[in-house]
Structure 1
């Protein structure tokens, strides 16, 4: 093939393979991420060798990582980040420190490492988890805004910040005399970048985006976003930090201005396209021959890493006051090795901290943990439920879920229980209190509970779907239950357990998807609200009003749609009105 067409051919092969692999995974009811990784293995230099220059694809894959983190930053507001700041900073330091120390001790004890420098290096490689894989999996499952999703992403972002320090420090492990200067330089770089980002985010970026938005040119707006995202990512790469943290901070700067939603809508198609390149490029790194020759050793390492990291993360999350279920889900989500461990491993190979055989074993182990992550997260909920059903373990686990704090009046009757005090729950509580209703909030986030305590709103701190929490909420004396949880699984469990306690209780639940809408209705919810449909109804109502329809007619149309539970407007049903 002509040289000028080779790149187009490589790109076509990768995108085509990703589409085919993703489609097959979807048909098999598996995460599309698995399809991307397997398709990369198939078309890569270690598979059917269909690519002329895999390094070109890997360069494009870095753009996918940048867009993934940029979109996360736009969605992940500073307010949400602030809610989990303690576990993000202190918890991530504990997790990385304990992992590095434990790995160094084990590798030295078994003779796998020659000295503490090599042991700590291996510990640093294994301490990182995969931001890209976890983010993609949480997005597919609709769990970005759940407590475990927020904790995972906060810890991952802190790990990405630490990556720059690791890249600077690890090559000097055999030269301890230079270590303090290297650490000081790295900290100054991080501090300088964050100060610059704060100043730009407050005074420069908002004015720039508003000026571009006034042109009303979609092309200019999108080009500005792309240039801004990649520019900040390159700046952090030049400072020796990761491109991930640069792209994420760029997204945070956009998140604080009024054009955040518009920016996100523009970037999402690019994010999904380039992210598929990233996951395919990870699949290309897997060497089947190395896997075959060292299968037993690699599977042993995979088991050790995934179980070991989960056992380290679990008590750390519990230490910061989160529930056992949240801790279990978080530990199952962070127990893989991150894609940027490839970068650290390559640095270690170049400076002689590890041998080529160790490097290949690390690559194989990392790739398998990345592939297993979506399945492990999918199995986490059933595993948690199975643990609660064990006769010996279940009662002890339920005692751990007893309310950590509660502020409930002794005579609380005819109250409305609101599960979740996020953005939706806060609005519900505000409306109810203005109308004079007694309210009791169930919330498992300490930062949100501090707000409730300050406003003197009755609350119970703990998982809303816990049977012990529901007993304390006295559902039999309540008028209604409003479920505003961000986690679909917790919503279904709470609904089922609440109806088991109080079968006649009026329950209104929030659905995140049309599939969840059906499940909640079948489970017994009297009313189920789907936010996207409600937004469409409000837009339609305003549009009909502007077109001159009578208010009574508009109310009749909207109420009819709500009465039949959106059946007439659902695009997934064949009888929906066109």
Structure 2
């Protein structure tokens, strides 16, 4: 009974500290993730020692990882994955392989590893990045559906899938002659599991979820979803594969059924609660004493790891035809050591592949790289822009901005350029074509380009904010430019570069927030449209009509609101 009460008390302390830490981080304009990590350090065994059931807390924290990956699986779009499938498979394997080879080589040559087996193990630990931290940061920045967000998540998911193989061959590092056999068994396990998962997702899971949903009981539906998530995760863990892999596959199982959105809405509160517990548990692992005693070494390791991984990832992303800016954001977004590296490090300690001192150094280094990840992601876009403006490197970087595919007339003029072919862009194109205007679309999504090919719409495949792409679009002879990009930073950069090429061009831009309306207008956009306000205006239009207001009066009200750039209806700043 006392143990149960202690666990409840510990959970209250951890969640309360996480809430306070997250609040303070938010008020200081820092990622809430940083607050969770610091709160774990404060209440943990190396802080004020307020917890007595740390093992149970860490076990519960694993549920947070499971829910994070389950929610990602539900939201994950296989259609969107197709545009980055090459880099997800070949690119991630290349990244993992190069990291292992380079780390093994350097550590053995420098004498940091006692032998090749230990060097390979350290390379495996450093090769993994943090799906949980990057996912959380992308969610907070609303960048899940950006190109760099999709590439990062694709590589990270591939790394999680590779974790099972790495765990399977670790025991063989004590006996290198068995690596081939262990790898074969691990691949067989993955193939069997995926085959069973596909069968269940087609014939069993949809019917099961539909039957539970038919009861119209929120409790039963939530229990069924949780059971599916944790059940599949436990199966993969039992097979020696990663728990995260199972949770992600469980999410994929229901991602295409009618009840996917309902399942996601039920899991999100649990995901956020347990995710904060997970990040706090990482903070508990940080030993300030070890950090202070080896501060110089750890700073060197953190610098070496983060710059080294970025240096490996950058050319890989560039080699797949993506722009320098995208490559920089991706390389500095996944250059940390992942949370699953904790699992590998613990396994290596048990197998005596590393010493206790090395294990503690890995924990400290990993924790610091996780803390720095949101900062790297924040500065990466401006860093990429700075690289492209370097005079000595301008010509070299320029060739990486070359549009990968062109499908447009040799001579084009009097056309309207539409940047982005998502839901908004598609509607714009349909309206323009229905009125007989010639359209040229700029898009970097393979799935979207396939639709453009099918409908025989002229397009350029590349980043719309790339100077070389814009030169190919012949903006100097275009009638107008409509910007419908999902990324605010790309929208601003595109607007700036487009007006530099064609100063008199009519630009209509989509705003993502209230503050952007004035900014984009000052930058030179002729019209700035805020989708939420426009939806509200349309609802107001229909409402006033139903109340009997004259059509002329309604249009005058709406036109006045648009003319003053929504100032009269913008929410008051706090």
Q: TM-score, normalised by structure 2?
A: 0.93
How much has 1:322 moved relative to structure 2? 0.9
How much has 1:485 moved relative to structure 2? 1.7
Gaps of 5+ in 1: none
Cα separation, 2, equivalents of 1:222 and 1:28? 36
Task: Indicate conservation of the 8 Å contact 1:14/1:280, yes or no.
Answer: yes
Task: Indicate conservation of the 8 Å contact 1:105/1:119, yes or no.
Answer: yes
2:250 is paired with a residue whose SS is helix
Aligned to 2:135: 135
Aligned to 2:294: 294
Task: Indicate conservation of the 8 Å contact 1:322/1:445, yes or no.
Answer: no
Aligned to 1:497: 497
Task: Indicate conservation of the 8 Å contact 2:79/2:447, yes or no.
Answer: no
Aligned to 1:238: 238
Deviates more, 1:157-166 or 1:44-53: 44-53
Mapping of residues 334-413 of structure 1, within 5 Å: 334-413=334-413
Aligned to 1:316: 316
Aligned to 1:67: 67
Report the CA distance shift for 1:434/1:235 in structure 2 as closer, same or farther (over 3 A).
Answer: farther
Cα separation, 1, equivalents of 2:550 and 2:246? 50
Report the CA distance shift for 1:184/1:461 in structure 2 as closer, same or farther (over 3 A).
Answer: same
Task: Indicate conservation of the 8 Å contact 2:322/2:401, yes or no.
Answer: no
Deviates more, 1:269-278 or 1:561-570: 561-570
2:271 is paired with a residue whose SS is helix
Task: Indicate conservation of the 8 Å contact 1:323/1:444, yes or no.
Answer: no
Mapping of residues 213-232 of structure 1, within 5 Å: 213-232=213-232
2:300 is paired with a residue whose SS is helix
Aligned to 1:168: 168
Gaps of 5+ in 2: none
Cα separation, 1, equivalents of 2:442 and 2:424? 13
Number of equivalenced pairs? 573
Deviates more, 1:403-412 or 1:129-138: 403-412
Mapping of residues 13-52 of structure 1, within 5 Å: 13-52=13-52
Report the CA distance shift for 1:538/1:271 in structure 2 as closer, same or farther (over 3 A).
Answer: farther
Cα separation, 1, equivalents of 2:568 and 2:66? 40
Task: Indicate conservation of the 8 Å contact 1:421/1:441, yes or no.
Answer: yes
Deviations 1:521-541 (A, max 9, x none): 443333334444555566666
Cα separation, 2, equivalents of 1:219 and 1:537? 38
Deviates more, 1:140-149 or 1:266-275: 266-275
Deviates more, 1:20-29 or 1:423-432: 423-432
Cα separation, 2, equivalents of 1:179 and 1:261? 42
How much has 1:274 moved relative to structure 2? 1.3
2:204 is paired with a residue whose SS is helix
Report the CA distance shift for 1:560/1:273 in structure 2 as closer, same or farther (over 3 A).
Answer: farther
Aligned to 1:183: 183
2:485 is paired with a residue whose SS is coil
Task: Indicate conservation of the 8 Å contact 1:171/1:347, yes or no.
Answer: no
Report the CA distance shift for 1:120/1:398 in structure 2 as closer, same or farther (over 3 A).
Answer: same
How much has 1:569 moved relative to structure 2? 4.9
How much has 1:78 moved relative to structure 2? 1.0
How much has 1:568 moved relative to structure 2? 5.0
Aligned to 2:150: 150
2:219 is paired with a residue whose SS is helix
Is 1:457 the counterpart of 2:435 in the alignment? no
Report the CA distance shift for 1:244/1:428 in structure 2 as closer, same or farther (over 3 A).
Answer: farther
How much has 1:411 moved relative to structure 2? 3.1
Report the CA distance shift for 1:466/1:191 in structure 2 as closer, same or farther (over 3 A).
Answer: same
Cα separation, 2, equivalents of 1:163 and 1:42? 31
Deviations 1:320-361 (A, max 9, x none): 111111111110011110010010011111011111111111
Mapping of residues 401-480 of structure 1, within 5 Å: 401-480=401-480
Cα separation, 2, equivalents of 1:443 and 1:119? 43
Cα separation, 2, equivalents of 1:374 and 1:114? 34
How much has 1:427 moved relative to structure 2? 3.8
Task: Indicate conservation of the 8 Å contact 1:160/1:244, yes or no.
Answer: yes
Report the CA distance shift for 1:236/1:566 in structure 2 as closer, same or farther (over 3 A).
Answer: farther
Deviations 1:438-487 (A, max 9, x none): 11111234454344344432222222112222122122322222222222
Aligned to 1:281: 281
Deviates more, 1:163-172 or 1:221-230: 221-230
Deviations 1:228-254 (A, max 9, x none): 222222222222221212222222222
Cα separation, 2, equivalents of 1:551 and 1:354? 79
How much has 1:111 moved relative to structure 2? 1.3
Mapping of residues 198-277 of structure 1, within 5 Å: 198-277=198-277
Report the CA distance shift for 1:452/1:335 in structure 2 as closer, same or farther (over 3 A).
Answer: same
2:174 is paired with a residue whose SS is coil
Task: Indicate conservation of the 8 Å contact 1:567/1:573, yes or no.
Answer: no
Over aligned residue pairs, what C-alpha RMSD do you find?
A: 2.5
How much has 1:403 moved relative to structure 2? 3.0
How much has 1:168 moved relative to structure 2? 0.9
2:528 is paired with a residue whose SS is strand
Task: Indicate conservation of the 8 Å contact 1:75/1:255, yes or no.
Answer: yes
